C-alpha cells in the first residue's frame, strides 16, 4: 500500500502460515487436522486474533516445518511491528479511527483510557490487515462507495455490519485453495452446480459446491450475517486470480439459496467480478435485472421454458419436470411463484427448509 513504510508496516504470522500452505499445496483442513484447536485455531491465526505461544509453535512446526523458535520469533516480530504501527497513529486521528472503523468485537462504551484506545486501534488494524488509518480508508473506506447494494433504502443495511461481513468473507476465502479465476471455467460448471440442489442438506451439497467453484477460481464462503446486515449474498474479486461468492443463508429455503447463488454467479460472469452486495429489498437497475435473468435461465433454461410455462399446481407434473431438469422441486416451485404462474402460497411443501442447527456446521 502507498503509505506503508518501515515504521508502520507489519505482517501477521498468518501471512507466513498462508504462504507455506500455498507453497506446500496444503489445504486448510490438512493443516487444521494437525493443530489442537482445529479450523477455529487456524482461522484465528490467519486473522491475527490468536497469539502464537509455545504450544501453537510446536503444532505449526509439526505441520508446516521450521522450528518452534522460528514461529515464536515470528510472533514477537509481528507484535513489535504492530506496536510501532499503533504508536504511529496520530493522536488526533485515533478517536475518528475508532469511531469510523467497525470493530470485530463489541464497541467500547464510556470514556477510554489511552491504553484502551490503543488496544481498539490495534484490533482494527489487525482485523483488516492494514498498517494505518490512511491505508484502511484507501482500501475499505471507499469500498462502500464502490459497492452496489441491492437495497431499496440505504438505512436498511448498515455499512458497518456489511463491512464486517465482507471482511469475514475475505478471511474465509484465505482458507480456500482455488485454481485461477476464469469466467469460462465457471460457466462450464453451471449444470453440475444445479444438480447439487438435489442433495437434501447443506452439509451434503456445500463441500461439493465449494470444490466445483474452486476449480473455476471462485472461493465460496458461508458467513452468517451480523446484526444490521440484511445481505443474502455478495461477490467480489479478492485477488486478481480469486473471486469470492459470499452467502449468508439469510433465507433458509432451497429456492432462495440456489437463486441467490446463481444471481451472484451472474454478477461474476456478466459484471467482471465487481463488488455487489445483495439484500432483501431490491433496488432494480440494469445489472440487477441482468443477474436475475441469468439466475432464472440457470434454473430454467430457454429450451425448457415452453414446457415450464405449461406447469400448474399439479404436484406430479412439477416433480417430473424437476427430475428431468436434474434439480430440486423447490427451485421449480420458486420460479413458478416468481413468474406468477402459481400463487405464493402454492406447493410450498415441495421446498426444502433448513433449521439453523442443520446449517450451523457449514456457517462461520
Radius of gyration for the alpha carbons in the chain, expressed in angstroms and rounded: 23
Q: What's the pLDDT tens digit per position in 317-335?
A: 999 999 999 999 999 999 9
Region 335-356 average pLDDT: 96
Q: Which helix (H) or strand (E) holds 142?
A: none
Is there a contact between 316 and 331 (Cβ–Cβ < 8 Å)?
A: no
Q: How far is Cα of residue 348 from the mean position of the Cα atoms in its chain?
A: 29
CA–CA dist 54, 258 (Å, integer)? 45
CA–CA dist 231, 324 (Å, integer)? 32
- The pLDDT assigned to 272 comes to 83
- The pLDDT assigned to 92 comes to 82
Nearest 5°: the CA angle 46, 50, 51 is 110
When pLDDT is cut at 50, 70 and 90, the band that residue 227 belongs to is confident
CA–CA dist 47, 127 (Å, integer)? 6
Q: What's the pLDDT tens digit per position in 233-251?
A: 999 999 899 999 999 998 8
Q: What's the pLDDT tens digit per position in 36-53?
A: 999 999 999 999 999 999
Region 137-149 average pLDDT: 64
Q: How far is Cα of residue 91 from the mean position of the Cα atoms in its chain?
A: 34
- The pLDDT assigned to 225 comes to 86
Identify the three-state secondary structure at position 246.
Answer: strand
- The pLDDT assigned to 279 comes to 76
Region 342-358 average pLDDT: 95
- The pLDDT assigned to 286 comes to 87
- The pLDDT assigned to 364 comes to 65
What lies within 8 Å, CB to CB, of 358 at 6+ separation is 201, 202, 203
What lies within 8 Å, CB to CB, of 159 at 6+ separation is 144
Cα 350 to Cα 322, 329, 345: the distances in Å are: 11, 6, 11
Q: Where are the domains of the chain?
A: 13-141, 148-362
CA–CA dist 205, 187 (Å, integer)? 19
Strands (DSSP E) along 168-321, which ranges? 218-222, 231-239, 242-247, 276-279
pLDDT over 80 at 106, yes or no: no
Region 17-34 average pLDDT: 92
When pLDDT is cut at 50, 70 and 90, the band that residue 3 belongs to is very low
When pLDDT is cut at 50, 70 and 90, the band that residue 297 belongs to is very high
pLDDT over 80 at 56, yes or no: yes
CA–CA dist 362, 360 (Å, integer)? 5
pLDDT over 80 at 55, yes or no: yes
- The pLDDT assigned to 150 comes to 45
- The pLDDT assigned to 152 comes to 38
Among the ranges given (303-317, 318-332, 348-362), the one the predictor scored with the smallest mean pLDDT: 348-362
- Residue in 23, 104, 98, 118 with CA at minimum distance from that of residue 66: 23
CA–CA dist 224, 246 (Å, integer)? 10
Region 258-281 average pLDDT: 88
Strand order in the sheet with 218-222: 148-150, 276-279, 231-239, 242-247, 218-222
**What is the four-CA torsion angle of 199, 335, 281, 274, rounded to 10 degrees?**
70
User: What is the pLDDT of the chain when averaged over all its residues?
Assistant: 89
- The pLDDT assigned to 2 comes to 38
pLDDT over 90 at 137, yes or no: no
Region 105-132 average pLDDT: 88
When pLDDT is cut at 50, 70 and 90, the band that residue 280 belongs to is low
- What burial class does residue 35 get, using C-beta atoms within 10 Å of its C-beta: 0-12 exposed, 13-18 middle, 19+ buried? buried
When pLDDT is cut at 50, 70 and 90, the band that residue 284 belongs to is low
Cα four-point dihedral sign 60, 65, 71, 74: negative
When pLDDT is cut at 50, 70 and 90, the band that residue 8 belongs to is low
Identify the three-state secondary structure at position 252.
Answer: coil
Amino acid at each position: 500500500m502507498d503509505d506503508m513504510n518501515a515504521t508502520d508496516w507489519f505482517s501477521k504470522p498468518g501471512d507466513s502460515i498462508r504462504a507455506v500452505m500455498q507453497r506446500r499445496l496444503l489445504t486448510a483442513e490438512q493443516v487444521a487436522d494437525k493443530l489442537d484447536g482445529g479450523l477455529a485455531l487456524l482461522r484465528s491465526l490467519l486473522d491475527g486474533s490468536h497469539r502464537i505461544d509455545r504450544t501453537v509453535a510446536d503444532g505449526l512446526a509439526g505441520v508446516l516445518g521450521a522450528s518452534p523458535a522460528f514461529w515464536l520469533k515470528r510472533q514477537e516480530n509481528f507484535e513489535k511491528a504492530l506496536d510501532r504501527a499503533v504508536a504511529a497513529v496520530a493522536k488526533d486521528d485515533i478517536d475518528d479511527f475508532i469511531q469510523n472503523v467497525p470493530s470485530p468485537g463489541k464497541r467500547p462504551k464510556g470514556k477510554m483510557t489511552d491504553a484502551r484506545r490503543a488496544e481498539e486501534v490495534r484490533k482494527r488494524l489487525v482485523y483488516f490487515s492494514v498498517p494505518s488509518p490512511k491505508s484502511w480508508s484507501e482500501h475499505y473506506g471507499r469500498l462502500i462507495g464502490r459497492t452496489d447494494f441491492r437495497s431499496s433504502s440505504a438505512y436498511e443495511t448498515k455499512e458497518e455490519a456489511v463491512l464486517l461481513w465482507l471482511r469475514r468473507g475475505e478471511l474465509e476465502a484465505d482458507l480456500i485453495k482455488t485454481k485461477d479465476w476464469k469466467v469460462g471455467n465457471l460457466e462450464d460448471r453451471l449444470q453440475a452446480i444445479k444438480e447439487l440442489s438435489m442433495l437434501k442438506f447443506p452439509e451434503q451439497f456445500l463441500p461439493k459446491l465449494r470444490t466445483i467453484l474452486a476449480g473455476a477460481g471462485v472461493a465460496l464462503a458461508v458467513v452468517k450475517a451480523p446484526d444490521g446486515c440484511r445481505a443474502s449474498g455478495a461477490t467480489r474479486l479478492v485477488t486478481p486470480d480469486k473471486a469470492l461468492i459470499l452467502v449468508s443463508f439469510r433465507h433458509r429455503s432451497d429456492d432462495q439459496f440456489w437463486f441467490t447463488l446463481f444471481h451472484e454467479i451472474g454478477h461474476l460472469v456478466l459484471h467482471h467480478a465487481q463488488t455487489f452486495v445483495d439484500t432483501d429489498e431490491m433496488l432494480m437497475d440494469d445489472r440487477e435485472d441482468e443477474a436475475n435473468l441469468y439466475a432464472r435461465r440457470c434454473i430454467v433454461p430457454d429450451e425448457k421454458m415452453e414446457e415450464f410455462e405449461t406447469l400448474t399446481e399439479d404436484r406430479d407434473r412439477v416433480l417430473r419436470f424437476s427430475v428431468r431438469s436434474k434439480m430440486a422441486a423447490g427451485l421449480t416451485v420458486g420460479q413458478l411463484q416468481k413468474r406468477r404462474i402459481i400463487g405464493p402460497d402454492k406447493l410450498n411443501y415441495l421446498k426444502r427448509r433448513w433449521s439453523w442447527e442443520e446449517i450451523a456446521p457449514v456457517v462461520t
